[in-house]
Chain A
Amino acid sequence: MNLSDLANPSRFLQLANNTIPWLSGVTVLAFAFGIDQAMIAPDDYQQGATVKIMFLHVPSAWLGMLGWGVMTVAALGTLVWRHPLADVTAKAAAPIGAAFTLLCLVTGSLWGRPEWGTYWVWDARLTSELVLLLLYLGVIALWRTVDDPSRAARAAAILTLVGAIDLPIIKFSVDWWNTLHQGASVFRLGGSTIYPTILIPLFVMAGAFTLLFATLLLAAMRNEILRRRVRTLHLLQAGAAS
Chain B
Amino acid sequence: METTAHIDFIAASYASAVIIIGALIAWVSLDYRAQRRTLADLELQGFTRGSGTAPTNRTSDHAKEAAKEQA
Contacts and interface: CB of A to CB of B under 8 A. Distances in A.
Contact of A99 (B14, B23, B52): B23
A49 B23 CA distance: 27
Most buried by A among B17, B23, B49: B17
B71 interface: no
Nearest to B45: A237
A102 interface: yes
Interface of B: 1-7, 9-10, 12-14, 16-17, 20-21, 23-25, 27-29, 31-32, 35-36, 38-39, 42-43, 45, 47-49, 51-55
A114 B5 CA distance: 10
A116 to B, nearest CB: 12
Interface residues of A, number: 38
Contacts of A56: 13-14, 17
B10 A49 contact: yes
Q: Which 4 A-B pairs have the closest CB atoms?
A: A48-B1, A226-B35, A233-B42, A114-B6
B6 A107 contact: no
Contacts of B53: 236, 239-240
Contacts of B24: 95-96, 99, 216
